[in-house]
Amino acid sequence: MENVPFSAGHLGPASPVPSGACDCHVHVYDASYPAASGAKLLPPDASVSDYRQLQCRLGLSRVVLVTPSTYGTDNRCMLSGLAALGSAARGVAVIDGLESDLELSRLHEQGVRGVRLNLSLGVSGCVDQLVSLAQRIASLGWHLQLLMPPDLLASKADVLRHLPVSLVFDHMGRISPAQTGIHPAHRLILELMESGHAWVKLSGGYIVSEQRSVEDPALDDLAASYLRAAPQRVLWGSDWPHATASAGMQAMPDDARQVDRLSEWLKCTEGAPTLKQVLVDNPSALYGF
């Protein structure tokens, strides 16, 4: 196979990928949409056409586009991607909570099913918006996707337990392998998953790893902890086009190996779900495919 933009390697996954498999964390970038003031990540253009090459290489057919921190609350690039991908795509937007009911309804019609609050690299939103954002989107049946430092996450435990929407923690909850079973934020995520209040994305392993690599064996226990706690609440995402790699923060990952690492985590976890459950059934339940 030919190389795919923004992905190392050129082979497909060693593990057969089931029909209807979904990549639950992807961004698209287009310089024709201006970056938000203060944006920390300014990657090169990465288009739907580029991503379709990765879908073909990996055997994926569904995708969730997430508005990246680069654009703040401007969702136009993500929405353009949704329009190009059609019914096989869903979106996660970034909002300020001041949008009208009509604006939010239009986002829903275009395929949006959640909003993201990024308190790690984001340039919009603050932790004090947790309640107001959740209340704003609850009637739509959307989820609130969170990315925040573990200490901050743990400090908001009582708030998170009582929000009127489902929560989604991307990039393994931003928990490092060394914090597995130790940090209160990790224990909180497991609690919320077990109670049916939260989901976690096995994405960005190369971001939370001290080795900055998805091959890091230390990721195994962290991934397995989520798979054991609530297998019906685990998702997978590539994090293509790996903006942090473009910024030189780590090497560009091989996305086929990311799929294979998921297979390895499943095989070494007693009572774990199948690849079909994580890649097909769980995304269908959350995003409404």
Residues belonging to the active site: 239
Q: Alpha-carbon distance 136 to 124, whole Å?
A: 17
Q: Are 237 and 203 within 8 A, CB to CB?
A: yes
57 three-state secondary structure: helix
68 closest CA partner among 87, 42, 88, 99: 42
200 membership: H or E segment, kind and range: strand 198-202
Handedness of CA 248, 26, 122, 235 (dihedral sign): negative
- Residue 138 gets which letter from DSSP? G
Q: Are 163 and 133 within 8 A, CB to CB?
A: no
Q: Tokens standing for 282?
A: 């769980």
